[in-house]
Amino acid sequence: MADLDSPSPAQAPAPAPVRARWPRWLRWTTALGVLLVLVLVAGLSTAVVGVRRSWPQTGGELSISGLDGEVRVVRDEHGIPQIYADSTHDLMLAQGFVHAQDRFFEMDVRRHATAGRLSELFGKSGLETDLVVRTLGWREVAEKEVAMLRPATRSALDAYAEGVNAYLEGRSTSEMSLEYALLGITGLDYQPEQWTAVDSVAWLKAMAWDLRGNLDEEIGRAIATATVGEDRAQDLYPGYPYAAHAPIVQQGGVVDGAFDQDATGSGAGSLARPPLGDPATVRALAKVRSVLAGVPALLGQGDGIGSNAWVVDGDRTETGAPILANDPHLGISLPGVWTQVGLHCRTLSAECPYDVAGFSFSGVPGVVIGHNRDIAWGFTNLAPDVTDLYVERVTGDEWEYDGQQLPLTRRTERIEVRDGKDVELTVRSTSHGPLLSDLARFAADEDVDVTDDGLLDQVDDVADAQDGGDAAIALAWTALTPRPTADALLALDRASDWTSFHKALSSFAVPGQNVVYADTQGHIGYQATGVVPIRRPGNDGRQPAAGWLKETDWTGDVVPYDELPNVLDPDSGIIATANQAVIDPTRYPPYLTSDWDLGYRSDRINRLLAADDELSVDKMTAIQLDDRSAIGEALTPYLLDIDLPHGYYSDGQRLLRSWNYQQDADSAAAAYFNVVWREVLSRTFSDELPTAIQPNGGSRWFAVVSALLPRGKSPWWDDVRTDDKVERRSDILRDAMIAARDELTALESPNADEWSWGALHELELRSSTLGESGIGIVERLFNRGGWEVGGGGSLVNATGWDARVGYEVATAPSMRMVVPMDGLDAARWINLTGVSGHAFHPHYTDQTDLWARGETLPWVFSEKAVDRAAGDVLLLTPEG
């Protein structure tokens, strides 16, 4: 152990940081990079003209093809558009046009990603993603879903596509975005294809993939079990604490095939788990994990991906009307995931039923989250277990199932690669799904650069592959079965009461969501959504299943929509969802998942809401910014008991003595605590766990460490790398505190009072294409950063960070909204970035400064209020 009188770091160092993972869709050769820099420098005199060339026209009059009548687009001072039309066709067409004006490059990259065609734009650097997307067949599923949609939905999608194509008509790519102009310099000869309904629906596949549930945990459990044994692996994956952290729905059960909120509990059956399998399986899973990590996180992935949403009834507000709040936590990107919009029929009718505003996806018609004149709604990820990995016994082109040899199905995908030869991929599948292990072998054979975090080498240290090579791994995923989710989005926009709201969500298949509800009549409610498979007793989805055994199959049925938990006007007057368990399984037999967020955010939100019966919009906004740390509250008393040398090393401990567990950006104590927390995680677990499954610091690790803290002696505290000592809790905590002091001295200041959490915990917004070019001058064109923020992972103000990487913000509230149902013009909203996807445009990141300060914008809704707030007005007229 280190000498406590010495300022040198403690013995067990933190592991080498894992490189931050951004989608590497674009890499530059040296020659192209130098050429681009020279062109940029030579063209400075015309740079302003070039940058502004793609900016949208937002005032005056503009004739576009396809319109039947005039459309008015009113933008406020932040460029947020409110669109007014006389027909659904014109309304959706105008939305497509406006989205393309603001963000067509983003839309085009997204459709290439969801079609597995990034390599056409970015060369071999896009191949890693394309291989996975083609193997899963996102585009083919989307094509089938379009054919299933209701006529009204299909018409809206087609009208939206008309609007996008009207924008493309007659424009060169340099008139669409600065990115296209720079790509042209590198030799890209490209003209975007016409937009189609399939392009919009395919985006829902990306949404489903990023919010897919427990696939990472399934692989992690298998690797952890192979590494430390099943008993100790269970320490790392604790069950949900139902007694401590209340589930979303606290009443009701399934009666006669429907969920009845007044029913008493009916009990749940037990589930068996299959064994892990042989060492070859573990290595195959490690390879599959490495390949899947190459899929771009278009919404974001990982432990920080969640959301907060809650609603309270009028008995708990100062005005006597419900208030609804929502802030989805997603990956950070530039431009942000959402773009704000209002869609208004001048006269509401069956032919034109929309009067709605909120947050939309560029590339998709309608509003995803928001409110109309009658109801408001918000989403959080339910994260049901809708994926299973199956270990298959494959010989040649056959696989074993229930004692028989069956043929694998095959299809061939050809991927066009810019500046390279085409790649031909053969996708083989069992009845469970495509063989992802084939993809791992193909990537190795083709020398595709896949994510490498050292996991394969570390797995080899645990268990060498057996004779016969790696196992075959197939993926079953509900999103690979076509379903008309797009119907639900537009039906939500039209819903006017609880009945129509509940009916609208019946089509929402993937990803499964928690949806909170409020209406102007004073009602509040909650509805779980999503297609959840029913498993046979031999498979609970927690770890890979034996694919050759019939008893591990899905039954082919899904949990009926009418049986999914829902509640209207609960007695408590509060519905809070933050990705915690939906309902106690002792009262609800259908299996949804075992891998909930463990409820630290939801518990804090429920406490804050229950403590006040005069809630207001301002108070709701303040709750969204709450940054009290649950792990800080649990761990700090143990840190204060550690005996440290007085002076230099006790400075941080001194800060903790008066810490209120709040993680605001200016807090020196929060800075020290989080560095200590990262060190504790590393020193406790890095000696035994492979890098890929080491602690990221999220809610699961809150629970793991909180359960471990009362035990002064445990195998987890012991560092297996030291032969002459058995470490205890006090040793690990002392070393962590010493190392944290040294790190903060190096990173911030030798004066502990000058430390701040925000200086460590910065928000950097990066473009996933040219912002990752590797050329500083190019990256500076598109990336923005330096916002010092408070909050943290698994706090209500969920600015998540990954303890394996560093302190920089990795996930964050992608927007915030608060809606009072008795005064819609008094609603508030904010976006992580601006509505514009054009670098240097005034609305590129104009909302980020406000977001970082915890401020929101007025969200006016009535036409009079919109007109009063108008900055620019554009009149779109029919061509000719």
Contact yes or no for 406/561 (Cβ under 8 A): no
Q: How many CB atoms lie within 10 A of CB 856?
A: 22
**Residue 250: what are its φ and ψ, rounded to 5°?**
-115, 20
- The angle subtended at Cα 203 by Cα 197 and Cα 206, nearest 5°, is 155
Question: Which residues, listed in sequence order, are joined to residue 800 by a DSSP beta bridge?
Answer: 811
- Within a 10 A sphere around the Cβ of 658, how many other Cβ atoms? 7
> Furthest-apart CA pair in the chain: how many Å?
87
Length of the chain: 880
Q: How far, in whole angstroms, is CA 507 from its chain's centroid?
A: 22
Contact 33, 26 (CB under 8 A): no
Is 231 annotated as ligand-binding? no
User: Using an 8 Å Cβ cutoff, are 528 and 380 in contact?
Assistant: no
Alpha carbons 340 and 358: distance in angstroms, whole number: 6
According to DSSP, residue 517 is labeled: E
Instruction: Report helix, strand or coil for 760.
Output: helix
DSSP reduced 3-state for 557: strand
Kind plus residue range of the DSSP H or E element containing 524: strand 524-528
d(CA 806, CA 439): 31
Decide: 479 and 209 in contact? Cβ < 8 Å.
yes
* 660 token code pair: 């209120």
Contacting residues for 75 by C-beta, under 8 A, at least 6 apart: 58, 81, 82, 870, 871, 872, 873, 874
Across the beta sheet with 872-878, what order do the strands follow? 60-64, 872-878, 71-75, 81-85, 339-345, 355-360, 369-372, 375-381, 513-519, 524-528, 566-568
Contact predicate 129/293, CB 8 Å? no
HEC string of 384-433?
A: CCCEEEEEECEECCEEEECCEEEECEEEEEEECCCCCCCEEEEEEECCCC
Q: CB 779: neighbour CB atoms within 10 A?
A: 15
Query: Is 307 considered catalytic here?
Result: yes
Which string of b and e fits 817-831 if b means at least 16 CB within 10 Å? bbbbbeebebbbbbb
In a 13 Å sphere around the CA of 439, the CA atoms on its Cβ side amount to 32
Burial label, 556 (beta-carbon count in 10 A; 0-12, 13-18, 19+): exposed
Strand-pair partners of 83: 73, 343
CB 837 within 8 A of CB 362: yes
> Are 753 and 668 a contacting pair, CB within 8 Å?
yes
For residues 824 and 867, give the distance between their C-alpha atoms in angstroms, rounded to a whole number.
Answer: 15
Q: Is 385 annotated as a binding residue?
A: yes
Distance CA 507, CA 785 (A): 39
How many Å from the N-terminal Cα to the C-terminal Cα in the chain? Answer: 82
Q: Does the annotation list 140 as a binding residue?
A: no
How far is 179 from 770, CA to CA, in rounded Å? Answer: 7
Q: Which residue in the list 54, 125, 177, 307 is annotated as catalytic?
A: 307
Residue 353 Cα distances to 152, 200, 426, angstroms: 11, 21, 46
Q: Is the peptide bond before 335 cis (omega within 30 degrees of 0)?
A: yes
Q: Which residues are catalytic?
A: 307
Which residues sit in the known binding site? 218, 385, 388
Which residues sit in the known binding site for Ca(2+)? 218, 385, 388
